[in-house]
Amino acid sequence: MDRFFAVVNPAAGGGRSAKLAGPALARLREKGLKVDVIASTGQGHAVQLAREAYEQGYRCFLAVGGDGTAHEILNGVFAGRNGVPRVALGFLPLGTGNSFLRDFAKDGAAASMQALLEGRRRTVDLLRLTHAQGEIYSFNLLSMGFTADVAALTNRMFKPFGDLGYLLGVFVRVAQLRRRSLALRCDDDAEWDEGRSLFLTFNNSKYTGGTMLIAPDADPTDGLIEFVRWGPIGRLGLLRTLPRLYDGSHIKHPLASRRAVRHVEFKEAAPVDVMIDGEVVTVECRAIDVLPAAVDVFGFSASCTFLLLRPLWCSWGFFSMRANTIGCSAPFASESLFCRARVWK
């Protein structure tokens, strides 16, 4: 089996990652996985680490943290390179969001570990945003408007509160509601679409913010971008309909629409906030494309997960309990795990 390059974000999940990563990685090693581990020290660091690791020959990566860690690893591998041979990505989801894995299993941590131990992979697509200064890759979604406004506020003020923090961000942004126009056209469209929207979202997978089913028809394996748009709904209508974002039925609202596309082109040259896999950047968008079957992820279908979940659930509970009962503080866990950080193969 190939050697894994694991990047741990000790800050993910409000420090939960620092406590649980050590025992979880030890478990993988006990079962025979070869894993080299390094901790990221801040935003963007995992991009640099993954880029260097790819250049050194690593082709299997492990994101230990949240969606942000996986996003940075993929951008370290893909950004600025042409013709990247397929790489594999596993997850130890210890962050607050972990939206992507929800497409494959409801209990991401246990299912991911099981998939890693059994070497089970699924091939998924990636999305690529081309902007004025370069390109950014996404495995979950890209989104503009209300969703980007919520993510920017949540990341700035409510991140430590997890799902509740995201909900707080939603309510504040409902109070400050803005509906904007962003001219675009898809595939062979002759006309620019310049209608006002609450949000535009371009999805590889279905969920955002952990549990919000924003694109119920998205499929990360179909070679298509799931484009969901919600028109200029008012505050009252949005508040009434908000719960429907969590079960995906918002898509049936008269102002909502969806379509599956391969290419999106943007008309405007002005910078806009774009939420990409949970993080917000301000860029001049040019285009979004899909890279079919770009990455193998270690993940399960829901039915497989149901059968295999229980033993790992227990193990995960044990890891959590053990880390807590021995007083495994974040600095202690980090030191014990990462003192051999640069263990290259």
Contact set with Mg ion (CB under 5 A):
219, 222, 224
**Structure tokens of 150?**
């919520």
Residue type (1 letter), 22: G
Nearer to Mg ion, 244 or 262 (CB): 262
Residue 315: CB minimum distance to Mg ion, A: 33
Residue 224: CB minimum distance to Mg ion, A: 4
Residue 204: CB minimum distance to Mg ion, A: 6
Nearer to Mg ion, 226 or 279 (CB): 226
What's the CA gap between 62 and 66, in Å, rounded? 11
Nearer to Mg ion, 148 or 294 (CB): 294
What's the CA gap between 184 and 195, in Å, rounded? 9
CA dihedral 52, 53, 58, 61 (to 10 degrees): -130
Residue 222: CB minimum distance to Mg ion, A: 4
**Structure tokens of 315?**
């193990």
Residue 2: CB minimum distance to Mg ion, A: 26
What's the CA gap between 345 and 39, in Å, rounded? 16
φ and ψ at residue 62, rounded to 5 degrees: -135, 120
Nearer to Mg ion, 219 or 273 (CB): 219
CA distances from 131 to 134, 150, 196, 197 (A): 5, 22, 22, 21
Strand partners, 242: none
Nearer to Mg ion, 9 or 204 (CB): 204
**Structure tokens of 87?**
């790489």
Nearer to Mg ion, 115 or 127 (CB): 127
Taking alpha carbons only, the member of 107, 119, 174 closest to residue 147 is 174
Residue 260: CB minimum distance to Mg ion, A: 7
